Chains A and B, each alone.
Chain A
């Protein structure tokens, strides 16, 4: 599926709400929590991470994981948390509006 740029940002922020992750793990987390429906291209995810970092909503740090592997781990910042809440409410509004338009007409099957 195609994504609006803003939606991808929101998904990343949401994913990081539950704890810090590195880039590869973020992609996997989105995939698994969407039950394999959303498979984000790394070529789109990685620039999104950089974008969010520039905007100050996430910060990155080099850490050594288990298996002694070095990876750059991303965390949500307080500003990022605020942005996430904003995006979430916007998204809910959006879904509601679309839902009203798509409300089944009399006689049509339920969506």
Chain B
């Protein structure tokens, strides 16, 4: 009962009413009694209030109101402190949001912690997906797991007759949605009944985002149609808003059943029921049935992989590769993004952590400066009977309120910053779709960081308040030297630590910027400003060894090249199997004339590829039309790395080596060889990976390469801007073959940028934050020096009166400024070295041709800091110089 009554006193209106009632009662009693008989009524009321409880809470509320009022009365201080803190907190929240989304966030499905991803791995740990037959086999014969499959597929969409931009779609098995346990937002999702008959289920589920953006949340969406590759599909439902499949960073808009594969993937053959075809295009996910362990399920699946019918024999060895099943947790989804960006994100997280510390130090300095002015106020309150703990609490609350306001601004900043970061990272490699809405973890992180920051820089004036002497009340002479020194002490320490932290940041930024410059310089051999590239995939190009496909594709490509080269402004055009910075996934076995076998990466090209790319032939010749006849002898181009490493400097041209045939020509399991002549040597060029040394590469013509894939990338060289002829190139492709889908039309410059996106991200951001740190340090330095000068006005006045010259005064102030900066540098250099050692694994992975302890960078960063410090100290120094001794001494 008592508890109930006590709780009522929490309510502010009840408290107010009780307070009024109490005052009433005390007045009535005073009227009845003799004067002064009742003693001090104020104390009686105060003690009575204590009985109500919750006084501490009320005091904290009072402190918060007081702090807000104080902030409003000091807008300059408030703005500066909130701004620098908001920047620090916002940056940290932004990075944390990204790390959370990419790394930790659970998939928005039912029970994500039990979701598994299946893959098969060969001995060299290359994992791959499954063929349709393999999936069917697993689904039907493994009873200890539920297994579903999906595949990402670009879709040609048209709605009501008008063509839409290529949509990111997914083919999903009938049990995909039930396995994931998602419920539809509208209509229904697929069931196994939607996935039985090949090409017999023209139904689609669209994503919530697609429904919103393309159909304007049409309430009658169920039953409407989309045309995929010309075939109408009925929309049966809308997926829930937060669902995006199982791959973090993707955002499929349309889901169709796996049975519809031949229709929506026109470039491929029918992958569902061609037993001779081996294409591991499906990805597997699954859940264990209750009572099954991971080991049991893996064993059961491995039984399947051991069977002879699981996969065909390896073309080179004639025997089946040994594959094992791997089941890994898919709780946080699969992600290429994670692999690509987790290191840069971690490094950036460290960077913004440093920025936050610097911002806290800055704010601490500001708060200190203010608290010096409030000494009288505190002394007065102490004299009136406030407890020291009450004062300390008030100062801490002020710090927390400031940090809370900054935190709220920081969340807003983070919202904008995360989107900007993702947009920056998406450039050139297709949109990255991430759910960046803050979840509980992020908000808790922000709150914790804000509170910590508030306590950090609130504690400094709090401690000083606790050591106040009450005798200061009424004293005018607050400029005694003793106070001056003690007032500047913590301020100095803060500035020194700021300088040290900034040095670490600047060195880091310098290292990353230099790495990026080094990488950029390395693409000598690629002329990226004038080349347009676009992937083309004519029908059947996925299976070029199908009967008749080879000749048909070759004709199509040559016609395309013909058309494109006639576009005005085009200097040359060619085709290659992969884009310049994409990995070359095909290799040949070469038996050298001098003996010895080698496996070499091989790129399939058309003539004039070398010239189009801006590379050059150093010896011999390029391919020409003579090499493109069906009966031409086998020829190849090689690069200089090939000559160096494989031929070991022997004469490359004219000699017949042996090329191992990889397909169709094995006689009793022994692969046959065909004679191959090298007709030209190409200068090395920095691909497929800008970082590593160029590997040996050989080039072959389209007809002569023994590979099953035939999609090519068109390269077009222009005199001017590649973007200008994009439309004409697209038209030329359409004219050649109306149905050819094109993907990833962009310039080579974009391609390089995309390859370097991580390095660019880190270099840009660490450079930006280095600049921010520099500004913060300068502000902090200026503040401390200005404070020092104002306190030493009398002293300077005396010195000038006694004959000190201007330069002497300048030197006095400047010396102090530089001492602070140098002390900071002395602390910062070893700190930077230590950080480099501690984080060497992450950091060196991102660096290129520089070491973490690169002396040139450290020296440059030091010089920059010294200059910034000097600039910051100029204004206070000038003010010191202009002190008129008469005025200064008169104030004493």
Binding site for B on A (CB under 8 A): 22-24, 41-44, 46-47, 49-51, 54-56, 69-72
Known contacts: A42-B39, A47-B47, A47-B50. The answer to whether A72 contacts B25 by CB under 8 A is yes
Query: Of A24, A49, A70, which one neighbours B33 at CB under 8 angstroms?
Result: A24
Contact of A46 among B2, B21, B37, B48 (CB under 8 A): B48
Segment 1-53 of B: residues with Cβ below 8 Å from A: 1-2, 5-6, 21, 24-26, 28-29, 31-33, 37-41, 43-45, 47-48, 50-52
Identify A24's interface contact among B24, B32, B48, CB under 8 A: B32
Residue of A nearest to B33 (CB): A24
- From DSSP, what is the main secondary structure of chain B's interface residues? helix
Q: Which of B21, B25, B29, B39 contacts A43 (CB 8 A)?
A: B39
Q: Report the tally of A-B residue pairs with Cβ distances under 8 A.
A: 57
A50 contacts B39, C-beta separation under 8 Å:
no
Residues from chain B with a CB closer than 8 A to the CB of A72 are 21, 24-25, 28
Residue of A at shortest CB range from B21?
Answer: A72
User: Measured between C-beta atoms, what is the minimum distance from A39 to chain B in Å?
Assistant: 11
Interface size class of chain B, counting residues whose CB lies under 8 Å from the partner chain: 20 to 34
Q: Known: A23-B25, A56-B2. Is A69-B31 also a contact (CB below 8 A)?
A: yes
Contact assessment for B1 and A70 in the assembled complex, using a CB-CB cutoff below 8 Å: no
Chain B residue with Cβ nearest A45: B44
- Provide the bound-state CA to CA distance between A46 and B49, in Å: 10
Q: In whole angstroms, what is the CA distance A44 to B39 when docked?
A: 10
Q: Closest CB of chain B to A18's CB: distance in Å? A: 20
- Give the residues in chain B near A56, CB-CB below 8 Å: 1-2, 5
Q: Which residue of B lies closest to A43 (CB)?
A: B44
Complexed CA–CA distance, A69 and B40 (Å) = 22
Minimum Cβ distance to chain A for residue B41 (Å): 8
Known: A42-B41, A46-B26, A46-B45. 15 other contacts (CB 8 A): A23-B29, A24-B38, A43-B39, A43-B44, A44-B47, A47-B44, A47-B47, A50-B52, A54-B5, A56-B1, A56-B5, A69-B28, A70-B28, A72-B24, A72-B28
Give the shortest distance, in Å, between A64 (CB) and chain B (any CB): 10
Which residues of chain B have a CB within 8 Å of any CB of chain A?
1-2, 5-6, 21, 24-26, 28-29, 31-33, 37-41, 43-45, 47-48, 50-52
- Cross-chain contact B32 with A69 (CB below 8 angstroms): yes
Least CB distance from A22 to B in Å reads 7
A12 to chain B, nearest CB (A): 13
* Chain A to chain B contacts (Cβ below 8 Å), 18 pairs: A22-B29, A22-B32, A23-B25, A42-B39, A42-B44, A43-B39, A43-B43, A46-B26, A46-B44, A46-B45, A46-B48, A47-B50, A50-B48, A54-B2, A54-B52, A69-B28, A69-B32, A71-B32
**The 8 residue pairs across chains A and B that have the minimum distance between CB atoms:** A47-B47, A42-B38, A46-B44, A50-B48, A43-B44, A50-B51, A72-B25, A47-B48
For residue A49, which residues in chain B have a CB less than 8 angstroms away from its CB?
48
A49 to B38: give the CA distance in the assembly, Å. 15
Given A51-B51, A54-B2, A55-B2, A43-B40 contact (CB < 8 Å): yes
Q: Which residues of B contact A47 (CB under 8 A)?
A: 44, 47-48, 50-51
Tell whether, in the assembled complex, residue B32 and residue A54 are in contact, meaning their CB atoms are under 8 Å apart: no
* Neighbouring A residues of B31 by C-beta, 8 Å: 69
**Closest B residue to A48 using CB positions:** B51
Q: Given the complex of chains A and B, what is the CA–CA distance between A69 and B31 in angstroms?
A: 9
Contact B39 A41, beta carbon cutoff 8 Å: yes
Which residues from chain B contact A70 at a C-beta distance below 8 Å? 28
Contacts of B32 in A (CB 8 A): 22, 24, 69, 71
Cα distance A24–B40 in the bound complex, in angstroms: 14
Q: How far is the CB of A47 from chain B (nearest CB, A)?
A: 4
Q: Which residues of A contact B47 (CB under 8 A)?
A: 43-44, 46-47
Q: Which one of B6, B37, B51 has the highest number of Cβ atoms from chain A below 10 Å of its Cβ?
A: B51
**Shortest CB–CB separation between residue B45 and chain A, in angstroms?**
8
> How far is A71 from B32 in the complex, measured between Cα atoms in Å?
9
How many angstroms between the C-alpha atoms of A46 and B29 in the bound complex? 11
Rounded to whole angstroms, the CA-CA distance of A42 and B45 in the bound complex is 10
Smallest CB-CB separation from A65: which chain B residue? Answer: B32
* A50 CA / B51 CA spacing, docked (Å): 7
With the chains together, A42 CA to B24 CA distance in Å?
16
- CB proximity of B16 to chain A, nearest CB, Å: 16
CB distance from A8 to the nearest CB of B (A): 12
Closest to A70 in B: B28
Closest Cβ neighbor of B43 among chain A residues: A43
| Chain B residues, CB < 8 A from A50 | 48, 51-52
Bound CA span A43–B40, Å? 7
Contacts of B26 in A (CB 8 A): 46
CA gap between A32 and B25 in the complex, in Å: 23
Cα separation A44 to B484 with both chains bound (whole Å)? 47
Q: Closest approach, in angstroms, between the C-beta of A79 and any C-beta of chain B? A: 8
Contacts of A51 in B (CB 8 A): 51
